[in-house]
Structure 1
C-alpha cells in the first residue's frame, strides 16, 4: 500500500471487499483533544469499521455493511447524527440521511426526521419499500412508524454539550433560547462527556465494496447548529452528500452542505472517475482540494471503487475517519498528519 499526502489519505487497496467510514470533518486540531478524547474517538471508529467489515467478511452486501456501520455512528453521542445530533434554533433535533446502491442506482433519503432512532434505516426503507426516493418531515416519521422502524421520544437525541452549543450560537446571533425539550437530562454517560466540539456542523458516513463487486454509500447527520426555516443540507440529497455507482465508485461527504450541493460533490467525483478516467484519489483531491476550496467551502469525502481502491480527502484541520479492507489492517485517522 502506498500513502498519499496528508490531505488525501489513501492509496490503492485492492481486495475482495473494503469499507471506509467518516465521523465528520471540521476544526479538529491535535492540541484541542485530550488524550482520553482522542482515545474515545479512535475506539468508536474502530468499532464502526470492524462492524461493517464483519458484514463484508461474511459475504454480506455493501448496503448491509453501510447501514450496520452508520447505525452505530447514529447511536454514539460523540458524533453529529442520531443521539449526538445538533439542535435547530427552535430546540429540536431534525435528522437527515441517505443511502444508495451502486449496483441498481436505487436510493432513499429522509430529512427533518424527529422520532426515528436510526435515520439510515429509514432511508433504506424508503428505497426498498416505497416508490419514492426522498421523504421529509412528519411524513417521513409517519412512514417510519407505519413500517415498524424503532421510534423514540425526541428527548432520546438530547445531549448536554449540543444544547450548550445551541445556547452559545443563539446568543451570538441575538436570538432567543428556547426551553429545554421534554425528556432532556444532564450529561448521561462517559462517551458524551468525552465528545469534542468540532464546529457548528458534522456528518457521519460510510462507503463499502462487497465480495460481489457492488458498492454502496450512506450518510447521516443532525445538520447545523441553530439551523432555521427548515434548512436541509447536502446529506439527504443524492449526488451531493452521497452517490454510488458500480461504473465508478461510492462517495460519502461531510462539510459545508450548501457548497456540496452547489458542486454536486459526490456525483462529480464519480463522473470524473467514470467519464474522464481519473484515478479515485486524483478525483477526490480535484473536487475537494481544488474545486470545493476555490468556491469557499470546507469539508471532506471518503470513497471506494469497485476494484478495491479506497480514498479520502479533506481541506479542514481534521476528519474522523477509518478504513479497512480484505487482507489490509484497520487504519484510523483524525488529524491531517495521520496515515
Structure 2
C-alpha cells in the first residue's frame, strides 16, 4: 500500500506575508519524509521524526531553532513521538541547547524497545530539563549543543518584555500569535502509523514550563486498533488547555469509534475541548488537530484537520506523488476560541 505523511506548522495565527515560508517548510518536510517512505523498510516513526526535524530547523516555526524565548531570554523545547505499532512513547520537556528535540524524543522511545538497563530498571519515557540535556548528550550522536535564539525571536522577546513591564496588552500581530506547535502524522507502507509533535512553548513563559508537546496523550497519539484500522494525531494550540483535556488521545479514540472521520473529529473538539468541564473558566479555548485515519484492509487513508484558532497550516504527500500539497485553513474572527 502507499505511504503518506502529513505535517502542520501549528494552530495559531499565520499572516499572509509569511505563507510562502510556511508553504516551503511544509513541502520540504513532506518531500524528505516521502523520499524515505519510498523504501518499504522505512518506519512511520522514522518518517515523522525526519519531517519534524525539517520543521524544527526553520526559524519560521516555533520549534527548535527560532523558538519563543522564556522570560529569561532562553529557549526551552518540548517534543514527543509515539509509535502506533508498539505503543511506545518518548518525550522531552524544557530541553535547552538542542536544535532537534524531536530526535532526542525519538531515541528515548527507541530505548524502551531495547530495555537493556540493569537491575530491572525501567527506561524513561519522559525526561525534562537538565536531566534531558545530559541524557541527550550521552545517547543522541547528532544532537549537538547549539544557540537556538534567532534574531526574530530575540526581537519579539525584547518587544513583549517591554510591553509587560509597561503593563500594556499585547497587540494582535503575527508575532503575538506565534504560540503554535509543529507536528506530523504518518502511515508507512507496512500499514503502521506514528505521530510526532515539537514546540518552543509560549512566548515569555516561566523557565521549566512544560506544554502538551511533552505530555502523554496530549501532544500526539498513534495506535493500530486491529489489523486494518489505525489512527495518528498531532495537536497544537494552548498547551495548558490541551493537557487538561488530553486532546490527542480523545481525538484518536473518537476517530477510531466514529463512522465518519470529519464529523467525528469536529464533534470531539466541540464536546471534549470547547465544551469541556475542565475548561469551564476559560473564555477562549485555542487548539487544533491534524489527524490520519487509515483503513489498511481497503488501502484507504484520510488526512483531516480541525481548529478553533485563527488558522492552521498543513501539508501532506503520499509515495508516488509528484509534489506535496499545502493549505492554510482559516476561521472567522467571531468563531475563534468558540467554534471549529
What TM bracket, shorter-length normalisation?
A: 0.7 to 0.9
Question: How far off its partner does 1:152 sit?
Answer: 4.1
Q: TM-score by structure 2 length?
A: 0.82
RMSD: 2.2
Counterpart Cα distance in 1 of 2:144 and 2:125: 23
Indicate the residue corresponding to 1:211 in structure 2: 189
Deviations, residues 102-133 of structure 1 (Å, cap 9, x unaligned): 00100100011112221111001111125111
Give the alignment partner of residue 136 of structure 1, picking from 113, 128, 135: 128
Question: How far off its partner does 1:61 sit?
Answer: 0.9
Indicate the residue corresponding to 1:84 in structure 2: 66
Indicate the residue corresponding to 1:33 in structure 2: 16
Aligned residues: 298
Secondary structure of 1:235's match? helix
Indicate the residue corresponding to 1:49 in structure 2: 30
Q: Say whether 1:258 aligns with 2:240.
A: yes
Question: Does the CA contact (< 8 Å) of 1:289 and 1:314 recur in 2?
Answer: no
Counterpart Cα distance in 2 of 1:109 and 1:279: 31
Structure 1 spans left out of the alignment, 5+ residues: 1-14, 177-195
Indicate the residue corresponding to 1:12 in structure 2: none
Q: Quick one: higher RCO (CA 8 Å, sep 6+), 1 or 2?
A: 1
Question: Does the CA contact (< 8 Å) of 1:289 and 1:315 recur in 2?
Answer: no
Q: Say whether 1:171 aligns with 2:162.
A: yes
Q: TM-score by structure 1 length?
A: 0.82
Shift of the 216–169 alpha-carbon distance from structure 1 to 2, 3 Å rule, reads same
Counterpart Cα distance in 2 of 1:264 and 1:214: 23
Trace 1:191-210 onto structure 2 (pairs within 5 A). 197=175, 199-210=177-188
Give the alignment partner of residue 303 of structure 1, picking from 291, 299, 314: 291
Deviations, residues 287-331 of structure 1 (Å, cap 9, x unaligned): 335542334311211111232222111122211210122456632
Give the alignment partner of residue 4 of structure 2, picking from 18, 21, 25: 18
Shift of the 99–321 alpha-carbon distance from structure 1 to 2, 3 Å rule, reads same
Question: How far off its partner does 1:151 sit?
Answer: 4.3
Give the alignment partner of residue 316 of structure 2, picking from 318, 323, 331: 323
Secondary structure of 1:224's match? coil
Secondary structure of 2:224's match? coil
Counterpart Cα distance in 1 of 2:329 and 2:231: 25
Counterpart Cα distance in 1 of 2:37 and 2:312: 24
Secondary structure of 1:249's match? strand
Shift of the 105–325 alpha-carbon distance from structure 1 to 2, 3 Å rule, reads same
Question: Does the CA contact (< 8 Å) of 1:97 and 1:236 recur in 2?
Answer: yes
